[in-house]
Structures are given as C-alpha cells and as structure tokens.
C-alpha cells in the first residue's frame, strides 16, 4: 500500500470510530479479525461491533483524529488522538 493509500485508510478508520456506526467501523476488519482496546481482545467482526458500540455509547461526543503514520520494524504505526466525555458506567461526566 502506498503512503497516500495508508493515510487515506487511517483517516477513514479514525472517522469510522467517530461516526457512531459500529457496524461501519467493524467493516474495517476481516471477518475473523481482532481488536484490542485497553488489553481486552475482541475477536471476530460481531465482537468488534459490540466493543465499538459500547465505546460509542459511553463516549457520545467521541472524536478520533489521525495524528501521524510511521513505520517500525516493517509495521505501520498509527498515532491518533481520542477525545470525548465518558457518560457510560464508571464515567465521570457530570461529576
């Protein structure tokens, strides 16, 4: 994938996190792909959808932005910024 294609992909991926559509977000993953958030793995598109849905519900104003892309040991490194207010269980919104 060219650098331009990677940047486009990463930009669309970040926008999908921010887009409040967990199914559209999970479509970035293979059917048996995996997503790890805070050390917890979601394996398979259905599990990834559920994880995304829970974060999108807990952070209704969530915005994920691509900061930069790099390469390390032959792998693409995606640097991003996530902002939002946690209104879900254990969240601090309104306190």
Which backbone phi and psi does 88 adopt, to 5 degrees?
A: -85, -175
Give the pLDDT confidence of 66-95 residue by residue, as tens digits.
999 998 999 999 999 999 999 877 777 655
Q: How far apart are CA 65 and CA 87, in angstroms?
A: 20
The residue ranges of every structural domain in the chain are: 3-83
Give the pLDDT confidence of 4-14 residue by residue, as tens digits.
999 999 999 99
CB-side neighbour CA atoms (13 Å) of 58: 13
In the chain the first and final C-alpha atoms are separated, in Å, by 46
pTM: 0.85
Give the pLDDT confidence of 17-65 residue by residue, as tens digits.
999 999 999 999 999 999 999 899 999 999 999 999 999 999 999 999 9
Closest alpha carbon to 23 in 55, 49, 59: 49
CATH for 3-83? 3.10.450.50
């Amino acid at each position: 994938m060219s650098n331009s294609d990677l940047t486009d992909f990463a930009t669309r991926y970040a926008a999908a996190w921010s887009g409040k559509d967990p199914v559209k977000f999970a479509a970035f993953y293979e059917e048996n792909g995996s997503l790890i958030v805070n050390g917890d793995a979601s394996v398979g598109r259905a599990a990834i959808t559920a994880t995304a849905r829970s974060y999108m519900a807990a952070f209704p104003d969530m915005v994920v932005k691509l900061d930069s892309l790099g390469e390390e040991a032959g792998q693409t490194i995606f640097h991003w910024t996530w902002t939002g207010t946690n209104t879900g269980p254990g969240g601090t919104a309104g306190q």
